[in-house]
Structure 1
Amino acid sequence: MPGDRQARPKSATMRMFGAVLQALRRRAGVSRERLAEATQYSLDMICAVEQGRRQPSAKLIEAAEELLDGKGVLKEAAKHIVQNKFPDWFEEYAKYEAECHSLEIYQNHVIPGLFQTKEYALAVFRSERPLLDDEEIERGVAARMERQQLLTRTPPAVISAVLEQVILERWIGGREVMRGQMQRLLDLSKLRNVDIQIMPTRRETHAGLAGPLYVLETKDHERYVYFEGQKGVMLSGSKDVSDVSMRSAMLRSQALTPEDSVSLIKKVLGEL
């Protein structure tokens, strides 16, 4: 999913702050455990801040300044933090996605981020482990909603998606959230530039067993593929693009037609 599950953003400025914090801590001879205890944050939180994965709170900065005798260095460094909307490994894809000419999606875990309702996205972020704090969740949902401008922009991007049937049956966020999400899929299916196909669970052959994939074509007709794992990987080699494009085409041929898919989504909605 590019961005369909959350990962903590890591900007250059956050890495810079983390390096400064770590240097001051080591100079003062203070362990991460002691810093965590003094600031009343978890050890994981301290590690994440030093690695540039979490933005430091004002409370943490204040406590660290006092314990480490920072002489204002941490407060000054914090002024320059720029919070990226997306993780480093997703930023490149997000830039291409926003301007793409066409996009092919295969997803087998959750509704793709481009199609998620705000309530469904919120439930996805709240399911993340380790837990995200409220501010991270708010930023993540806002970034995901902003990405959805692609669906209705001018000129339109042509988007085709194959979703596993099990996604419709996985009640992320509960019954009411899923009702809203199913209606959202039905509304999107009415757009001329969006095709949604459902892959039946009971199939004997399946071209998508390797997992989620994305095939993107730019307005200059350059093609890229994106694979999702714990971290996403974007490739542009001709063989990679050719292989994944063939797999994507096979998935569309194996899935239900857009019309039959709409009927299935309506059936699922009626049973919620």
Structure 2
Amino acid sequence: MADPNDEDAGDGAVDLFRALGRMVKMLRERAGLTQRQLGQQLGYSEEQISSLERGRRVPQDEFLDAADELLGANGMLAVAKEDVARAKTKARVKHPAWFRDYARLEREAVELHHYDVSALPGLLQTESHARAIFTNRQPLLDEATVEQRVTARLGRQDILTRWPATLVTFMIEEAVLRRPLGGQSTHRAQLEHLLQVSQLRNVELQIMPTDREEHPTLDGPFTLLTPIGRQQVAYVEVQRVSRLIVDPEEVRILAARYGSIRAQALTPRESRFFIETMLGDT
């Protein structure tokens, strides 16, 4: 039975995140910093700071502490950490029904390994990139649903920066990076964001070039996921159909394929250079 306070809790969380975002913006402007400059000093992209100031991205404890000190907030931001934690627990997640089981497991994961062939994984998407995806999806989504899906997608991304850290690896086909979804400005910001995320100690990002003459699997994307205290499972999703794979033999086969892809792809360092080269061409 649904909790009658669920909707109020969700709305309250949104209001809290927006209020904190406005406070960060006010303090940033008082300090004479642009969003890019603040992001550079705190280890975030300009897109992330923009999303946070608009209340679309959940502020993490590390951000609140660092921003409080840098912007001279005298504890006004840091003291909100407990409120943010409670709001995150109570807030409703606006994922489509078929995705919610995976989203729950993802939050509990100690390891995540993504292989993607046609789109960037949601954990790597900027706000503008995610909005372009949901805006163009057919059948068309109404504006309210687009905003809910974008906010939910950005909310998942705290798994990349939370502590204790989750080990996350990404194997992305080159063709995914060649598609300028949302236009050149959005595409460039997305490439810059990939470079920034790839510098996180718990993240490895590799590109699979299209000129490889061999490929261990052309069967489509998949994710390997290890929930805390449990065996590794796999997840596949295509055309709004999703499947969680728990059979040990099937999971083993996908894990072996993932290892082969990693061996044939560009190394993390080579992948960063590849993205930097793409940025130079945009």
Structure 1 length normalisation: TM-score?
0.69
Contact 1:89-1:233 at 8 Å conserved across structures: no
Identical residues among aligned pairs (%): 39
What's 2:105 paired with? Answer: 96
Contact 1:105-1:215 at 8 Å conserved across structures: yes
Q: Return the alpha-carbon distance in structure 1 between the equivalents of residues 92 and 138 of structure 2.
A: 21
1:176 aligns with 2:185: yes
- CA offset at residue 204 of structure 1? 1.4
Deviations 1:61-119 (A, max 9, x none): xxxxxxxxxxxxxxxxxxxxx97622222111111101200001000111110000000
What's 1:246 paired with? Answer: 256
Equivalent of residue 203 in structure 1, options 205, 212, 215? 212
Q: Return the alpha-carbon distance in structure 1 between the equivalents of residues 184 and 162 of structure 2.
A: 31
Superposed CA RMSD: 1.7
Q: Return the alpha-carbon distance in structure 1 between the equivalents of residues 113 and 174 of structure 2.
A: 17
What's 1:108 paired with? Answer: 117
Q: Return the alpha-carbon distance in structure 1 between the equivalents of residues 230 and 215 of structure 2.
A: 28
What's 2:169 paired with? Answer: 160
- CA offset at residue 192 of structure 1? 0.4
Report matched runs for 1:7-46 at 5 Å: none
Q: Which one has a bigger Cα radius of gyration?
A: 1
Q: Return the alpha-carbon distance in structure 2 between the equivalents of residues 200 and 123 of structure 1.
A: 25
Structure 2, unmatched stretches of 5+, are 3-90
Q: Return the alpha-carbon distance in structure 2 between the equivalents of residues 83 and 113 of structure 1.
A: 18
Q: Return the alpha-carbon distance in structure 2 between the equivalents of residues 147 and 205 of structure 1.
A: 34
Deviations 1:212-255 (A, max 9, x none): 01000111142110011121111111111111111111111111
Q: Return the alpha-carbon distance in structure 1 between the equivalents of residues 233 and 120 of structure 2.
A: 21
Contact 2:116-2:220 at 8 Å conserved across structures: yes
1:151 aligns with 2:160: yes
- Secondary structure of the 2:104 match is helix
- Secondary structure of the 2:172 match is strand
Q: Which has the higher contact order (CA 8 A, sep 6+)?
A: 1
What's 2:45 paired with? Answer: none
Return structure 1 stretches of 4+ with deviation > 4 angstroms: none
Q: Return the alpha-carbon distance in structure 2 between the equivalents of residues 89 and 139 of structure 1.
A: 15
Q: Return the alpha-carbon distance in structure 2 between the equivalents of residues 217 and 84 of structure 1.
A: 21
What's 1:19 paired with? Answer: none
1:271 aligns with 2:259: no
Contact 1:199-1:254 at 8 Å conserved across structures: yes
Structure 1, unmatched stretches of 5+, are 1-11, 13-81
1:134 aligns with 2:143: yes
